[in-house]
Amino acid sequence: MAEYPSEVRIREVGPRDGFQNEPEVIPTAEKVRLIGMLADAGLKRIEVTSFVRADVIPQLSDGADVLAALERREGVSYSVLIPNERGLDNALEHRDRFDEISVFLSASETHNRKNVNRSIAESLEGLMSVLARARREGLRCEGVVATSFGCPYEGAVPRDRVLEIAERLREAGCAEVGFGDTTGMANPRQVSDFYAHARDRLEGVELTAHFHNTRGQGLANAVAALGEGVASFESSFGELGGCPVPPGSTGNVSSEDLVSMFHEMGVETGIDLEGLLAASRSVQEVLGRPLGAHLLTAGPIDWDGQG
């Protein structure tokens, strides 16, 4: 039987990864209020926005305004997604309002081209400079490798290619590397095998699991990663989000479903599940539609039989 970590760290990515996929722009004040609810629920790592071009992702065009309006909570690390050097330039104008950056690229040439119009080599070259500058600013850096477990255009993605990209990111100064199941193609056996190899090749780097629930396997994959000692996860409240390309790549694994499962397994998260559910119910009201998280319908397990 696997020996699971006794506690895990969860980065909430809904305010960025989730909101960017909504068809309508969410008011800045609502974003700030919801981020505050997430922090109050005990989430210590929150990705709040991205400094991308407004014409590409208009839903995040208020990134600077969100940062300015945040009431920063002690002990909470706020991160922003940085696509390129121009994005870093814009973000550094608000350097005192966030603590970490994430950079990203795909392990699939086709997906990377469709997502950022660059080859993998071109993306890596550009990110080297971004990471060097961010480290000089004292920012903690995470590198995210999308399509780590499969690509909807190319099919299987070679594990060695994914890990070689991760090694390059480590060499450039990433303290953390996240592996994204960007369109929900991973399965638990594959995840176990992948993280066993990643653990051996990426010593000294925080390994993070980012699963999507597109095909209903997000939680099973999280357990598989946990069984290989992974103690860092990314998720999205309400199961918001998905990949902009291709269509149909629905949500990230739900934060409340993930937290509930970990708590039932005796794995600590430091997160108040009821507070997290309150944030998800609130974002449902903002969006005016039901979300996919199972706990929003079923509720947490009540072992005392109180309802």
Size of the chain in residues: 307
Task: Determine the straight-line distance between the first and last CA of the chain, rounded to whole angstroms.
Answer: 33
State the catalytic residue, choosing from 141, 151, 174, 243. 243
What tokens does 33 get?
């209020």
Give the residue from 235, 220, 181, 228 showing the smallest Cα distance to 202. Answer: 228
For residue 71, CA distances in Å to 62, 97, 215 come to 16, 10, 37
- 243 among known catalytic residues: yes
Question: Exposure pattern of 156-174 as b/e (b: 16+ CB <10 Å)?
Answer: ebebeebbebbebbbebbb
Q: What is the DSSP string of 218-242?
A: HHHHHHHHHHTT--EEEEBGGG---
What tokens does 84 get?
């390129």
What tokens does 146 get?
């999308």
Separation CA 63–CA 80 (nearest Å): 9
Task: Determine if residue 62 is left, alpha or beta; phi over 0 gives left, psi from -120 to 50 gives alpha, anything else beta.
Answer: alpha
Residue 36 phi, psi (nearest 5): -60, -40
What tokens does 180 get?
């994204």
What tokens does 4 get?
């699971």
Residue 212 phi, psi (nearest 5): -110, 155
Query: For residues 114 and 151, is the Cβ–Cβ distance under 8 A?
Result: no
**Catalytic center residues:** 243
